[in-house]
Copies of this chain bind each other. A is one copy, B any other.
Amino acid sequence: MAATIRDIREQTGLSLATISKYLNGGNVLPENREKIETAIRDLHYEVNEIARGLVTNKTKTIGMIVYDIESMFSGVLIRHVGDCLRKAGYALLVCDSCNDEKIEADNVRFLINKKVEGMVVIPVSWKEDFLLPTREKKIPVVLMDRSFAVSDFDCVKIDNRTAALRATNHLLGCGHKKIAIIASRVEYTGWERYKGFREAMVQAGLSVPEEYCRIGAHTIEFGHDSMLKLLELPDRPTAVLMTNYETSLGAVMAVNESGFDCPGDISMLGFDDLIMSHVVKPKLCMVVQPMKEMCEKAVELVLTQIDSKEERPPIELSMGTTLRDGNSIKPLQGK
């Protein structure tokens, strides 16, 4: 059906090798170049990437595994990573882990089977075991947003500790002392943010009651429940720091449903602005990540790994964050 390189040979009288050379940007005589180009036009020829892939052993495809494709956070990352890759001539194969470690491990095998040349992964699991198969096959991997305690993989993320520390300091600066935190237990990210929070509190000479620390799942539900529990405490906190997108969302939900007023009754500071900060009232003060830049870096890392054959130690990129103002924080006359 479709024209092949052989059809071009027929029409031009040249050899396969010459035509192939032309297709790959090699030098051919102007006269032959002409012939080939008209033949391509006449026959509507397009190179068959499958056949090319068979011999070059390259698929020009990168796999991306996201923890939850329904999350807007994933969506934004997918868009930017896809854009960058497209510019570099690569395609993106997206897999959704549905927040499930088993599916995540399946995804890795699936992508290997699809012969992707590299992977960008926002992991669900706490351990890197599920990525082991990529090591066997020497497939470059770049983690995003989340990394592991001891990691052997390239990673692009934000400086979680500092971000949380500064966010907490902001609350402290507004006069808050009774600050609660909602964080995720499972991975490094949540843990680092939690540490940043504790550090700021210790520096301020404040102690944090057990019941102010809600460490749990990375879900809207957990954020929701945690916030409700916090609001029910006899000694309510005056401010809450939510350390990821999902729990921020859930917490906002809970406050809106509870009848409490933000910032009147409780101040809030969230993480990971997406459209959310606009849709909720009042506008949420948030820690925002440079998502586009992170994606550019991630793509850069995975492509350089592909290009250079030598091993190199893993690179961990820590990007800065900014604190975006809102009016979800009430200044307290302190001390």
Chain A contact residues, CB within 8 Å of chain B: 2, 46, 48-51, 53-54, 59, 69-72, 74-76, 78-79, 82, 86, 91-96, 98, 110, 113-115, 137, 220, 249, 252-253, 256-257, 274-276, 278-281
Assembly CA distance A110 to B46 (angstroms)? 12
Assembly CA distance A130 to B280 (angstroms)? 37
Assembly CA distance A20 to B190 (angstroms)? 49
Assembly CA distance A253 to B278 (angstroms)? 6
Which of B51, B70, B249 has a CB less than 8 Å from the CB of A76?
B70
**B70 touching A59, Cβ below 8 Å:** no
Assembly CA distance A110 to B89 (angstroms)? 11
Chain B residues, CB < 8 A from A59: 50
Assembly CA distance A115 to B276 (angstroms)? 38
Tallying the copies of this chain within the complex gives 2
Chain B residues, CB < 8 A from A54: 48, 50-51, 54
**B275 touching A220, Cβ below 8 Å:** yes
Closest to A44 in B: B136
Which of B53, B75, B256 has a CB less than 8 Å from the CB of A50?
B53
**B94 touching A78, Cβ below 8 Å:** yes
Rounded to whole Å, the gap between the CB of A49 and the closest CB of chain B is 7
Chain B residues, CB < 8 A from A275: 220, 249
**A91 touching B114, Cβ below 8 Å:** yes
**B71 touching A98, Cβ below 8 Å:** no
Chain B residues, CB < 8 A from A46: 113
Chain B residues, CB < 8 A from A98: 79
Query: With A113-B49, A256-B281, A280-B279 in contact, do A82 and B96 touch (Cβ < 8 Å)?
Result: yes
Chain B residues, CB < 8 A from A2: 137
Chain B residues, CB < 8 A from A110: 86, 91
Rounded to whole Å, the gap between the CB of A297 and the closest CB of chain B is 20
Assembly CA distance A59 to B54 (angstroms)? 13
